């Protein structure tokens, strides 16, 4: 099993790393599962060691063990191992080399094609697929399966990184993967054994005072956001990347250009048989 050298092992240190400061409230008893979740970090450098078939079968089974809306199981996963195929996928997903280097790249699919076919075989209409709630159900199912897969992979010493850029060229990637109408990529996942020189460490998250609301929603005050921004500045400086969080948020929301083509997803979905009304 590969050890992530930059990851703390003491539970209290894990909590401090996750928030960028000593916790201000008691978190209760931590167990190995919670500690594993606290240790999560993205890995973008991998060893060439392959992920064997039995391991990947176990990871997909873990993904299938996630909750799914009404047991409809409206998701699928495409396994990409062939170097040429991975290269083609990478070019459509931000042209990121770690996709090429990872032994296996998974693309999680929101999939209504299968259930639509079941209804058609019964001679039934499929109007219920046409509404936005159905699109959301497929996305949520795929996301839950992907997260279960990540937790299972990390429990085995594997490293992972999500790739939202699989949505940059949704139509082209769907064609490359042979997806039928009613199915589209939601998120990619590079999986492999972390390279010893893989950088990165536990990235601090927003304080619970910002994301956790009691009974009713309340917008955070500027002081809390500024404090977190300073924490992220310190984190990124340690990684050799002088940037913060607030600037990243502003850059993401200011223009459709930050979506890298994903502003066209609604039209793509409609053309792919998911009008999402």
Q: Is residue 120 over pLDDT 70? A: yes
Output the six-digit token pair for 8. 């703390």
The whole-number pLDDT of residue 20 equals 87
The whole-number pLDDT of residue 47 equals 95
The whole-number pLDDT of residue 1 equals 35
Average pLDDT across the chain, whole number: 93
Q: Is 183 helix (H, G, I), strand (E, B) or coil?
A: strand
Could you tell me if 187 and 161 are in contact, meaning their C-beta atoms sit under 8 angstroms apart?
A: no
Q: Is residue 4 over pLDDT 60? A: no
Mean pLDDT of 65-91: 98
Q: Is residue 3 over pLDDT 60? A: no
Alpha-carbon distance of 110 to 144, in angstroms, equals 11
Element (DSSP H or E) covering residue 80:
strand 75-80
Alpha-carbon distance of 104 to 222, in angstroms, equals 42
The whole-number pLDDT of residue 199 equals 72
Alpha-carbon distance of 56 to 50, in angstroms, equals 10
The whole-number pLDDT of residue 240 equals 83
Burial label for 74, CB within 10 Å (0-12, 13-18, 19+), is buried
Q: Given its phi and psi angles, is residue 241 left (phi above 0), alpha (psi -120 to 50 degrees) or beta?
A: beta
Mean pLDDT of 230-254: 91
Burial label for 160, CB within 10 Å (0-12, 13-18, 19+), is buried
Architecture of domain 41-198: 3-Layer(aba) Sandwich (3.40)
- Every domain of the chain and the residues it spans: 41-198
Q: What DSSP state is assigned to residue 75?
A: E
Burial label for 99, CB within 10 Å (0-12, 13-18, 19+), is buried
pTM across the whole model: 0.93
Alpha-carbon distance of 131 to 265, in angstroms, equals 15
């Amino acid at each position: 099993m590969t050890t992530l050298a930059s990851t703390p092992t003491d539970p209290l240190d894990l909590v401090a790393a996750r928030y960028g400061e000593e916790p201000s409230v008691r978190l209760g008893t931590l167990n190995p599962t919670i500690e594993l979740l606290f240790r999560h970090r993205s890995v973008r450098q991998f060893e060439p060691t392959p992920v064997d078939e039995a391991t990947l079968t176990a990871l997909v089974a873990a993904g299938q063990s996630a909750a799914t809306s009404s047991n409809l199981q409206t998701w699928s996963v495409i396994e990409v191992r062939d170097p040429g195929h991975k290269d083609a996928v990478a070019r459509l997903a931000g042209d990121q080399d770690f996709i090429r280097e990872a032994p296996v790249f998974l693309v999680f699919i929101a999939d209504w094609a299968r259930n639509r076919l079941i209804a058609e075989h019964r001679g039934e209409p499929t109007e219920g697929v046409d509404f936005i709630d159905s699109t959301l159900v497929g996305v949520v199912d795929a996301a839950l399966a992907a997260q279960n897969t990540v937790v299972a992979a990390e429990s085995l010493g594997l490293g992972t990184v999500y790739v939202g850029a699989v949505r940059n060229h949704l139509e082209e990637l769907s064609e490359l993967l042979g997806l039928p109408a009613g199915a589209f990529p939601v998120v990619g996942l590079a999986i492999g054994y972390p390279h010893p020189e893989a950088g990165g460490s536990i990235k601090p998250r927003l304080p619970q005072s910002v994301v956790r609301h009691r009974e009713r929603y309340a917008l955070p005050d500027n002081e809390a956001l500024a404090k977190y921004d300073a924490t992220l500045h310190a984190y990124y400086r340690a990684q050799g990347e002088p940037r913060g969080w607030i600037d990243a948020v502003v850059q993401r929301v200011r223009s459709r250009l930050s979506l890298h083509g994903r502003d066209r997803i609604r039209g793509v979905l409609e053309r792919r048989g998911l009008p999402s009304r």
